[in-house]
Structure 1
Amino acid sequence: MRKNAAALLTIICTLMIFFSVYEGVSIRRAVANHPVAERGVMDLTGWDFAASGIAPLNGEWEYYRNQLLVPDDFNPDKRGGKLPEMTAYVHVPDIWDRYLGQEDAAHGYATFRLRVKLEEGNGRIYGIRPLNIKTAHKLYVNGREIGGRGIPGLNSQGTVSVNAPYARFFALEGSSAEIVVQVANYRYADGGITHPIFLGYQEDIQFSRETAVSIDLIAVSGFVLIGTYFLVLYRMRRRERSWLYFGLCCVSVGMYVATHGEKIVAIVLPELDFELMLKIQTLSGAFVELFLLLYTMRSFPNLFKKIAMQGFGAILTVRILFTLLTPASVFSQADFLVFALSLAEILYVVYVMAAGAVRRMEGASYMLIGALSLLILDVVTTLDIILSVSVYSIQVVAWISFALAQMLLLSKRFIRAFSAVEQLSKRLHSLDRFKDEFLANTSHEMKTPLHGIINIAQSLIEGAAGRLTPQQEENVALIASTGKRMANLVGDLLDFSKLKNGELILKRRAVALRPVVQVIMEMFRHLSGNKPVRFIELLNNRQFVYMDEDRLVQILNNLIGNALKFTAAGEITVSAREENGWLAISVADTGIGIPPGKLEVIFEAFEQTGSAMAREFGGTGLGLSITKRLVELHGGIIRAESGPGKGAVFTFTAPLAREGDDQLAGAEIAAASEPTMMLDRPPAASDTFRLEGDKTFTVLVADDDAANRQVLINLLSVEKYTVIAVSHGQEAMRQLDLNRRIDLAVIDLMMPGMSGYEVCRNIRNRYSLSELPVLLLTARNRPEDILTAFDAGVNDFLGKPVEAGELKARIRTLLEMKKSVGKLINAEMAFLQAQIKPHFLFNTLNTVISVSYTDVGKAQELLGELGQYLRSSFDFQNLEHLVSIRKELELVESYLIIEQARFGPRLQVIYDIDEQIRVPIPPLVIQPIVENAVRHGVTKRPEGGTVRISAKSGQDGIVVLVEDDGPGFSLESKMAGTKERTGGVGLANIERRMRTLYGTGLEIDSTPGQGTKVTIRVPNSIK
């Protein structure tokens, strides 16, 4: 089929050449068949204008050299019977240099005159259409000036040159028309009436003119559009230089057509200077040839010789400079030389394309069409130059044929390249999918050994295999750090693979922004260590976004983590503002900033701000790419603003949560129903709910989500626990102050005002891990989150969504742990109570024996006090039992009487007891403190000292003070936590019981050398 198409196109182009030559010959014959002027007269009385159309006024015209005559000059009556002297009869059209051998007479002025015989006019409207009269003229018909271009003058100063075709009309009265044309030329290499002047009926002349203008307009527009199209294509793909040269060639052809033929430029810009117009004409032709050569060389590099381009390029350069630097009267004299060189250039292009067609190169048929079109152009141009046959329309058609052939050739190459790219794209897509699957599978397999490497390295650092040398510890720490970076890379690759394959499913719901940001900042404060970076959030509790909470956390994690990585010291600030129904969330830092040229590419996969920076700070370049994808999945956009050394601001938009958007996508805990979430209600104490149960355990639940609170209440009520449910952290702490018997706290991580981390830290300031266990609920289960949670004092960590059975099992385990610890404390108390205290008994009995030698009554009194002491010590049954302060003081008095008998005047005791005290106190809280004051206080000094015991009643309860003037101790040993130096109930035991019952422990104030003061505050009642 391709061979047939090529053959058909070859035949068509051959026919075009034949018909172009035939048209040129036909025009010559047609001119010959027309009536011809003889001796200044043309007889058209036998010419049928209606049937045969317009007639060229060719033939012999009267020629008056160096005379500018008007019609009146040919009227004997007005010249006194004297007529102007005629130079000769000359042939029109022709250049007047050839008349009578006057080759040197290109410049000058003259008058042409022709009398045309016509049928009786009777007012018939005729038209006359000059094509090319160089370079200024006036046109008279029957004594009236009806047209002209410029102003013909007697010298160059008085001549205004304009050369453009036009059409004029006149009414014929009578049977003849006298045509007088004044012509002057001082600006061009040849002058005169160089192309035919046509005469015909008005409608025929007008149609001829409009048709010619329309053809030129269409040609100009077509060439400019084609050229612009290829120039735009080149801008999109700068490697295809052939598109550039072909586009410029077409634009130059368009300009060439616009300045020749009907001269469209003169119609659009009638005031355009003749000299400039002529330069544009000449230069447009030169540029057509230049870009045609460059296009051919780029399209057929194997056929086009470089030396040919160098030679033609040098000639064209000289030609262009010559045209620019000289006036038209000079450069126009080289027209024939220019024509010869142009012919050689075009013939060489024809040769190259024909050679490509013969060798059956790609697009051979289109090459052949192009070659034949250029050959037609050469033939037509030769006819115009040598035979003075004007076939300008065929020139335009030849250029159009060439342009279309080259368009088809370039399009074919483009389609072939596109097909190749499409095939490669399919293959690459397949390989890319295989690569994604490989990365995903490999990443999954790498997680386990990576975590093994990290954990083993960490255990070695902590001394699992013995103490490491500093260098060994540094190397192992490097292994652990590298392993963590690889683990992060594995996580990023898995997320990237899910995003790329569209496997990520968003679970959108209304999410409070501030709690999320607070929790993330808490985590990064912990991870930043001693890095001097402040975290600031400028948010409010009424900012809610409609997003997948997990993905919002991931976005903020990436942005805040990125800011922390590149900020050595300073601030990281998170703020938000509303913008047209969206919330614009900004993360700003004061770090090293981003170079301006990298602001756009940092969001692309595996892109970083530079190789040096990547080596210094690490990373894979996936974090921001994943962040951008996640933001776009929610319909938002992300942008960065920065400058080197000025920090960076990352801003992303998130959809605001509105009424109707607050439906939860699904229950976060099994068995949960689907309630709605109040967006605008601030947390308040009114959200607190208490449910009494049958069992002895009380569980505190803190969650800002009303649905989650209700689910937890339902689950815990089934277990018969007493449940206190609150909506925020501040209320949770208030309930701990009001209810001392809370056994377990179930805390949500993200709550407004006070995060789960902060609540846990506040609880640990009051209670130990065993005194009040904490179970943290959250959807975040990254290693960093878990580590931060345990550092905050959490006992157990449970990720959302939570299965009901697992939740209840964990709660039972924590409560049993607390119960077991309580039993252990009671056992410790019972053991301490049951201790005989050998050294105390030995010392007491020695004292009694020594006293009995001198005072039997005193010895008997001491034995009575010893019995009272032992009876009081063994009387306490459990740790939770409360006794009156009088009973506790009896034990203290018995102990001190025995110790005073032993140490004599070295031990002084002062009592300051309010007898009105009725508040019960825990057993064995005063006696161990007094014993500690005696044993490690006053008796440590050779001179002894004084122990002062005070018990006062106040509005809120009682205050017990035990003070000694012994040697004291430093604050470092304030709470040693051992079974203290008394060998009895330790201060740590008392501290733990006081905090469990009242929320406050012992107040110890001691200064070395100045004694010790221990204060116990017991409120009026226990909640």
Structure 2
Amino acid sequence: MFNFQYVKIKKLLFVFIILLMLTGIRMIWIAYQMGPDQPTAHQGVLDLRNYELSENQTLILGGEWDFFPEVLWVPQSEELSQDRRMLVQVPKKENEDVPYPFGTYRLKILLPPDIERVYGIRVQSSEMVSKLFINGRQIVDTGQATHQGQVLPYTALFSADQEDIDIVLQVSNFQSLSTVGIEKSIKFGFADSVINEQKFDEALQVIVAVVLVLHGFGTVYIYFFFKSKKDVSYFTAVLFCMTLATLVEDSKVLLQWLPLNYEWFMRLIKLSYLGVAFFLLQFVKEFLSVDKKDKVVKGTAIFYGVYALVVLIMPLQSNMLVLIFLSFLVLYIVIFVSLLVFSPGFHEKGEVPWLVFSSLCMLSSATWGLIKTYVWPTLPYYPFDIILSFFGVAAFWFKCFFMTTTRVEELVTELKKADKAKDDFLANSSHELRNPLNAIINIAQTVLDSDKASLGQENKKNLELLITVSRRMSFMLNDLLDVTRLKENGMRIQPKSVKVQAVTVGVIDMLKFLMEGKPIQMVSDISDSFPPVWADKDRLVQILFNLLHNAVKYTNEGTIVVQARMENEMAVIHVKDSGIGIDEEMQKKVFDPYERGDLNSLDIGGGLGLGLSICQQLVALHGGTIAVHSVPHQGSDFYFTLPFAENSIEEQVKEEGISELCLADERKDDRVSSSNIQPITGEKARILAVDDDPINLKVLSSVLSSRQYEVMTAMSGKEALSLLDQLEYDLVITDVMMPNMSGYELTENIRKRYSILELPILLLTARSQPEDVATGFAAGANDYVMKPLNALELKARTQALIDFKLAIGDRLRMEAALLQAQIQPHFLFNALNTIASLSTIDTSRMVSLLEHFGQYLRASFDLKNLQKFVPLENELQLLRSYLYIEKERFGDRLQIHWEVDQQLKVEIPPLSIQPLVENAVKHGVLQRARGGTVRIKIVDYVAYTEISIKDDGVGMSEKRVEQVLGRQNDLARGIGLFNTNRRLQQLYGEGLQIRSVVNEGTEVCFTIPRK
């Protein structure tokens, strides 16, 4: 009870504050327009001798005027008799002192001395015909006293060259039952002030009319384009009538464009206000939809209808009817506001207060209109109540629109969630049902195959039916899973060149079990010369399977044929049947999910209606379209398009297949037993853990921290890539779901620098769906671990991948050492022949050559070559021995230029320089008859050491460079470069840089980063 009273008081307080605010604004406007206290006339005289009239001010000529009833006096005639003189109040609506149809008003204005100006006088009353005389001179004549005159207000300008102004105003009113009392104020002032005030008032009315018209356009748009209810049309009518009423009141702007006589002018005013009240009533009725108010609404509507007839039929009406009409208008607005304010949803609906505000503005405008008409006729025109009222209505509609839009968005979100929940439920149910369903099929098939002799005919049929139904159900489950994946855009195709003929025959064989018991023949009518298409073979099988399955399902007898043709450089594949056909209405929605044809003609249930929808989406993934042409009771023709496979693409596919086989064989040969492999140097294996959650990083560090591992952490993919530039790592463990750069993207970026053999990657994922796992492996991951992490599993997979990486690294080093140790026989023979020849020519050179030859052999078989790094001096010692031997052999044909800092201390991978120099000697300078020069340059920079081997030999083409680094040549040549390049990439992320020009020479360089 207390809460109800509190809410009630709160509502009343809201109404009181709004009304107080509206009244306060109006009073400020009145004070501004009317100015300070103005003098009034007494005994027919207005004394302005001691009053300073400002340039922007107008005076109301109010007070006591002389009035001579039933006399139309002209100043040039004899003076009026004072016996007939009356003093009347001007302005005044109902003046009992002037119950006459015509008469003469007179006012004398006393001006300050020595002021000669142009003055203006504005007469706003338009119900009477009048003549205006100033100082005996006629200024305005609006018509004859006994005839109809104009109904427009008018402004007269005149100059005064004397100290008083004599105003004589003849008035008459034979058009209505009212008297000739002056109802509206007469304004006086300097000419500019009077004219500016007139223009200002007219501009205000036009502005209000424009605002109303703009609102009207908006409501008309809403009504016609959004098919709104009747309340919008009623409100549009309210706006139209209110615009009309605004333009015919006060300054009567409309009459300047549309001249009307007095009678029709009065009818227009009353009908416009009548329309406002009537259509506002209908709007309230439609908006509130309260049945118990219908009698009141109908009664009021009848009253308005009768009043409209009175206005149209009778020449002029009494003011009493106008008063009753306006009273009903105000009363109904009050009722409307009360219903809104005290309605239960006032504080529950955010849009209702705007409508209450609008209603209160209309209430204020109507109330002050009554006050101006019957109590205070000198009030200035006030436009803001009407403007605020309709702005409130606009705010109400906008609020309704935005609330509706928000609600629709919420409903859409809820529907999407419900749809997603439904899809997840179907997918989960499908997963759960597949295993028991497969068990049913397998057990039934086993019983049917093993006990066929002992089973009766009826039991055999039942088992066959059980297997058939189970297989149908299996198809339904597969369709549900496919629909879910397609909705989530989780289905990816892997197109390649596919022979449609072979796929079609295979699908027909798969569907033979469905035709048992039906006189149906399935035929493939595709020419053997039909070119292959560019499609995912598995998805093409699924498309044809669904279409043929659908054809079998809706065909009781006849033929099903698969045909193919070429059209617009696309393959068009048809699946035609002689079944029950599809009507035109069903053809429009046959590819929609869960749409099924006529099930009455089917012996077994028609499925879920997903097969054709899946076909449409799968065809779209291939860039094609699918359609149907069907005639009921004659059959259907489903046809879809696929792109053709180009010859170049087909050849590329074959080459890629051969390449993949070679790569697989190569990897197979590279496998090395890696049980308990540890770094030869005894260093810890370095792991890079990447996760945006510091807690997860802490867990990983805790689990993997031991004497075997050194764990480095990064909280983003960008940071991880930066760390990979600084240090060498043996394993990367990364979370899949990370902001900005996902684990998949990080894996792809790492694979641009390191192969799957050189740096293993272990993914941490919360999902084990096949598509998620496949995505990880496609990005280049070596393995994955499910969250939440199991410490034993994580350690086992980590150790396995590190062992794998170390084994690959050891193999590369062993390969380099083995290549170096396998000294070619012709090199030995040539060296020995050189030694033998020197024994007879120069024994000292022979001894020196023997020493270098021995050093070369010792360095080639040194176990240090199996280490990860060796001092630069060791590599240079081997290189000097090799070059000394070759120099003795070839003499001046081989020139060596050294640019090496002897004080440089740096460690490099073993056998990383000598193979490059040997390649420059054998395949570079010695290929020329004149020989050439090999330049060995080692420069130490701040961040790295650069090693460069340059020769001026025969050079290589770009294609040859790619073959050398890609190991696409024979093993006898270039394997040293290939091995060195792979080891450098594994260690530093960057391999050899080769710049070569045919017949000009080759430069091979690489960098060793500073530790």
- TM-score scaled to structure 1, two decimals? 0.47
Larger radius of gyration: 1
Calculate the TM-score normalised by the size of structure 2.
0.47
